[in-house]
Chain A
Amino acid sequence: MINYEKRLKNMGKQVMIVDDSRVMELQMEAMLKDTDYEIAAYCRNGNDAILRYDEVHPDIVTMDILMPGMDGLEAAQAILDKHPEANIVMVSSLAYDDTMEEAKAIGAKAFIFKPFDQEQILAAFEKTLGETAE
């Protein structure tokens, strides 16, 4: 059964994707097609993400960890320092306990492991926005 209340709440939510690989861009495009989320911006590195966040003010940011230059944890920290309300979902294949703890301590709302599927990413988004709404 479709949860219309939830759909209405998430309708047209803006997602900013931060990942140095265009693979993520293409995969997210496919996974978010025909959902209640739309891609508002792509950023190739942490510095770009910090700048673009101010312009876009997305509802959700997906943040890769391993990127050239500033990594995803540093970028998430910088965004959350300035925008404590930011909803950041860390996305990585490097699922160490200490990395996840660090992400949580910074204030990231969720952690998704690569490779992931549509169901997993949508569940992470719903969890993240659900926590914000509470």
Chain B
Amino acid sequence: MDHILSQEKISKIYEQSTREVTERTSGIRLSQGIATLRKEVCTVYTNFGQNVHSGIALCAETELFTRLTKQMMRVEEVDFQDIEDFVKEYFNVLCGHIAVALFRDTKTAVRFEIPTFYRGQFRPENQSESWTLHFISDQDEIADLIHYKAIDKADNSNTPPQTAEH
């Protein structure tokens, strides 16, 4: 994917899809901005399969994922299992939209794996962070959408460790 489209084009697709899907599923409005994750975070991740060899993670303050879950469930109280289930489904929808948008430009059908959810920050094995989009919600919660690309085999010694519990 990184070889077919420019980073600028891919990041625009990521940014638009994230804003649109988030608002449609939960009513939460995100905008791009420079901000650093400050509080407890969780990460949802998937790997784009087949010949693409890249991954995407959304690392967000738990408060944002909690609010997103409440909005999707239309309830006042949620537990951690609710958050995990709803965030995975939300991310599944988001990745579907990204994949379809990428297909329009590349004519390459991108498939992705079932998302996994982690408490804390997560870095996938054999992939390195390529670039990150920073988002701020309408209630000042912060989220980073991170694009990972495969590390060349010769460079595997630099693989960052996984840092979160699944």
Q: Do A and B bind each other?
A: yes
Interface residues of A (CB under 8 A from B): 20-24, 26-27, 30, 66-68, 92-96, 98, 114-115
**Contact indicator A115/B21 (Cβ below 8 Å):** yes
Given the interface pairs A20-B114, A115-B24, the reply to whether A93 lies near B109 with Cβ below 8 Å is: no
The number of chain B residues touching the other chain, given as a range, is: 20 to 34
DSSP class of B's interface residues: helix, strand, loop or mixed?
helix
Not counting A21-B89, A66-B96, a sample of 18 additional A-B residue pairs whose C-beta atoms are within 8 angstroms of each other reads A21-B85, A21-B88, A21-B92, A22-B85, A23-B72, A23-B85, A23-B89, A24-B89, A30-B74, A66-B92, A66-B114, A92-B96, A93-B94, A94-B96, A94-B100, A96-B103, A98-B109, A115-B24
Q: Is B95 an interface residue (CB 8 A)?
A: yes
What 8 A-B pairs come out closest when comparing CB atoms?
A: A93-B96, A23-B89, A93-B93, A94-B96, A21-B89, A114-B93, A115-B25, A95-B100
Can you list 11 A-B contacts with CB-CB less than 8 angstroms, sorted by A residue number? A20-B114, A21-B88, A21-B89, A23-B72, A66-B96, A93-B92, A93-B94, A95-B100, A96-B100, A114-B93, A115-B25
Q: How far is the CA of A26 from the CA of B72 in the complex (A)?
A: 10
Say how far A21's CB is from chain B's closest CB, in angstroms.
Answer: 5
Q: With contacts A20-B114, A96-B103 known, is A114 near B96, CB below 8 A?
A: yes
Q: How far is the CA of A2 from the CA of B21 in the complex (A)?
A: 33
Q: How far is the CA of A20 from the CA of B115 in the complex (A)?
A: 12
Chain B neighbourhood of A95, CB < 8 A:
96, 100
* Interface hits, B64-99 → A, CB 8 Å: 72-74, 85-86, 88-89, 92-97, 99
Interface residues of B in 102-148 (CB under 8 A from A): 103, 109, 111-112, 114
Interchain CB contact under 8 A, B93 and A115: yes
Q: How far is the CA of A30 from the CA of B75 in the complex (A)?
A: 12
- Given the complex of chains A and B, what is the CA–CA distance between A28 and B151 in angstroms? 41
Chain A residues contacting B92 (CB-CB under 8 Å) are 21, 66, 93, 114
Q: Is the CB of A26 within 8 A of B73?
A: yes
In Å, the complex CA distance between A21 and B92 comes to 10
CB of A30 to closest CB in B, whole Å: 7
Query: Which A residues lie within 8 Å of B96 (CB)?
Result: 66, 92-95, 114
- Chain B residues near A96: list those with CB within 8 A: 99-100, 103, 109
Identify the closest chain B residue to A94 (Cβ): B96
Report A-chain residues with C-beta under 8 Å of the C-beta of B114: 20, 66-68
A93 touches B95 (CB 8 A): yes
